[in-house]
Amino acid sequence: MKHFIKSILFILLFSIFFFSDANAQANKNKKLLKADIAFEAEQYFEAAELYKKAYVKTKNKALKAEIIFKQAESYRLSGNSKRAESYYKRAIKAKYPNVLLYLIYADMLRLDGDYSAAADQYKEYLKINPTDFNGELGLKSCEYALKWLDKPTRYQVELMPVLNSRSSDYSVAFGKGDYTELFFTSSRGGGISDKIDARTGDNFSDIYFSKLNKAGKWSAPELLLEPVNTEGNEGSVFINKRGTMMFFTQCKVEKKKSKGCAIYVAKRKGKIWGQPMLLQVKVDSNVTFGHPAVSDDESIVIFSSDMSGGYGGKDLWMVTKEQRGRWSIPVNLGPAINTPNDEMFPFMRDDNTIYFSSNGHIGMGGLDIFKSTKDELGVFSSVVNMKSPMNSSADDFSMIIERNEERGYLTSNRDGGKGSDDIYQFELPELKLFAKGVVTDSKTGGIMTGVKVQFIGNDGTTNEVETDNTGVYEFALKPLTSYEIIVNTEGYLSRSVNETTIGVENNKVFTIDFSVDPVKKEIVLPRIEYDFNKFDLRPQSIADLNLLAETLKDNLNVVIELKSHTDYIGSDAQNNKLSQQRADVCVAYLISQGIDAGQLVAKGIGENEPFVMENKDGRLKEGDVLTEKYIKKIKFKKNKEKANQYNRRTSFKVLREDYVPAVTKEIATDKKK
């Protein structure tokens, strides 16, 4: 990131590293001294060039290592992360004695998207400084970034070529409430000043605007004239819905020296913007503050500042308008939002939601975009990373979004842009959620066409679709909705399932097949099997009984008979008793699941109804009747046991469809009374 607003935010303990001793400074060569002076004045681009010359004039290895590190810092603070990464690596090889070197090198690797190498460097740093916040933050960020890249959100992000140049273009603002005007900041040539900012090596930045024509295309950017733009740096604009008032950041520069940044306000009359006036916020004269975000009624301003009383770096603060145009004492937005690092570029969508950028929360690279919503107590208690593709390994910041739609603009210096910082537009496409499945006859396995499938939503809606000639149904679901899905067709027991789209953030097809039970036919419960001479329910049998319980809850007027069977081994009396015990244990379980006992009849058949094969299974063929005689002819013990297992089973069939539940009877009796 090469423009003025961001470069001033990254001064990192320079005086500790570079000016520890005045006498040592006097002994350095003049070129190095000149470079140090430029760095201290935040002229990072110029300092990098001066350090390059100082390195050539230096023979001392320790001093050379120091110069390499200073070059790396200069490139980093002027926004050239790739060059900075290279020089930090050289500083490590030169054994520059600075514990933070591994941390900053890891940050550059992460900024360039090399998460694996960055993680290794964070681990090296944590060996030396295991409790450091930034080391832990960087390592966790690498882990999360890889997950977010693997599963990106549905947001679609596209470059806006018409607004971008080969210089830095950033911080878009809506010019009107109808979103037909955009204002943004650019350091492209042709601005108010033709001078170069020694801090960034780029032109001083100015505010530009573009309009949406009747064909839906944005016009070529036009420079906003004086008095809003000056020979200094302007940027980070907010304009009210009427398009009559502009809040923006302005940084004064005199004789190549920064005089600090502050928020100014200008009013528009017709097409002319008036003289900007300093926003009267109660801050110390030497404090930098900017990046204004303003509420719809213009009574609240959130901004970024390094004023005292914060959590470190740049924090987000809030002021409210008082009588006679005065503003309240700034209030820090708190530790959920602010960190020991930098929070910047806020945007208020409404009174409860803000978007902002930070390098102090778990993120993908440099600055990431985050979202926070006030809780019931009116406090910003948590933040959400906007993830990929809204965020990247590079700097992503200055997001604005339309009030009633999920579309807007952001700035990023990610790969694939036109210049340094570039403007992107984004939109969240409609979430596509569908329920789709096949309805089949549980007895025959055949598909069922023309069957109605009903969807009852917790939002009060009821819809119905039919299966097609392949037995398939399909229905578009709503986001954030729970459904009861019911199949109820003549001659079959009703079946229902519950499904929800709450918490689903990506397009999804819910596959929900229905196998419905015919009323007139006996249904074998295939997973209810028994060990030899036992009636205990196996663990896998419970699942099928649970499914039967759900079916009975959907069909309260049905009475079923549960028939249990045995193999031929043992006496008739023993097998009749055992089969009855098996039927009884199934009924007892169903009652424990809330099924009315009046709907259940338990019947033990013993060995009297051998199983008829419905499908081929090895030696056992479709239509084979598994009688004692048949099984005794089977040669292999394994196949005999398989046949006996088929006979040790429980099945059910519907006896009646006119049952009146006990609760219904009680209600009817009460009404008669």
Distance CA 213, CA 225 (A): 22
pLDDT tens sequence across 27-44 = 457 889 999 998 988 889
CA distances in angstroms from 414 to 154, 183, 380, 613, 650, listed in the order given = 19, 21, 29, 65, 64
pLDDT at 16: 36
In percent, the amount of the chain with pLDDT more than 90 equals 66
pLDDT of residue 82: 87
Cα-based angle 145, 148, 151 (whole degrees, multiple of 5): 150
Number of H helices, E strands in the chain: 15, 35
pLDDT in tens, 323-371: 777 899 999 999 999 999 999 999 999 778 999 999 999 999 999 999 9
3-state secondary structure of 317: strand
Counted residue by residue, the chain has a size of 673
Residues of 194-217 as b/e, b for ≥16 C-beta within 10 angstroms?
Answer: eeebbbbbbbbbbbbbbebeeeee
CATH 2.120.10.30 domain locations along the chain:
156-427
- The whole model's pTM is what? 0.73
Cβ 333 vs Cβ 310: under 8 Å: no
pLDDT digits (tens, 9 = 90+) for 222-234: 999 889 999 889 9
Which residue from 435, 515, 507 is spatially nearest to 473, judged by alpha carbons?
Answer: 435
Q: What is 352-390 written as a DSSP string?
A: SEEEEEESSSS-SSSSEEEEEEB-TTS-B---EE--TTT
Cis, peptide link before residue 227, omega less than 30° from 0: yes
- pLDDT tens for residues 142-167? 999 999 999 999 999 999 999 999 99
How do residues 415-469 score in pLDDT, each as one tens digit? Answer: 998 888 999 999 999 999 999 999 999 888 899 999 999 999 999 999 999 999 9
Using the Cα atoms of residue 231, residue 236, residue 240 and residue 242 in order, give the sign of their dihedral.
Answer: positive
Tell which CATH architecture fits domain 156-427: 6 Propeller (2.120)
3-state secondary structure of 248: strand
Residue 21 has pLDDT above 50, yes or no: no
Chain mean pLDDT for the chain: 89
3-state SS string over 583-619? HHHHHHHHHHCCCCHHHEEEEEEECCCCCECCCCECC
What is the amino acid identity at position 102? Y
Count CB-CB contacts under 10 A for residue 597: 11
CATH code: domain 433-516 is 2.60.40.1120
CA 476 vs CA 430, 433, 457, 508: distances in Å? 12, 6, 12, 10
Percentage with pLDDT > 70 across the chain: 92
Q: Beginning with the edge strand found earlier in the chain, give each strand of the sheet holding 156-159 in spatial order.
A: 156-159, 422-427, 407-412, 396-401
Per-residue confidence (pLDDT) for residue 10, from 0 to 100: 35
- What pLDDT score does 478 carry? 96
> At 395, is the secondary structure helix, strand, or coil?
coil
How far apart, in Å, are the Cα atoms of 387 and each of 362, 391, 393, 612?
Answer: 10, 5, 10, 58
CA distance 644 to 610: 9
Write the CA distances from 341 to 133, 219, 337, 357, 519, integer angstroms: 10, 38, 11, 11, 68
- How confident is the model at residue 287, as a pLDDT? 84
- Report pLDDT for 258: 62
CA atoms within 13 A on the CB side of 19: 11
Strand runs labelled E in 481-593: 482-487, 495-500, 508-511, 514-516, 523-529, 559-565
Residue ranges, CATH 3.30.1330.60, the chain: 523-671
CB-CB contact of 197 with 6 (8 Å): no
pLDDT of residue 413: 93
- Domain 4-150: give its CATH architecture: Alpha Horseshoe (1.25)
Residue identified by tokens 């039919």 is 466
pLDDT at 523: 65
Q: Which of 118-132, 251-265, 625-639 has the lowest mean pLDDT?
A: 251-265
Q: Which residue has the tokens 């299974």?
A: 617
- The two tokens of residue 537 are 């329910």
pLDDT at 22 over 60: no
For position 665, what pLDDT does the model report? Answer: 47
Average pLDDT over residues 92-118: 93
Among the CATH numbers 3.30.1330.60, 3.40.50.11400, 3.30.70.20, 3.90.79.10, which is that of 523-671?
A: 3.30.1330.60
- The ranges of the chain annotated as CATH 1.25.40.10 are 4-150
pLDDT digits (tens, 9 = 90+) for 38-86: 898 888 999 999 999 999 888 899 999 999 999 999 999 888 888 999 9
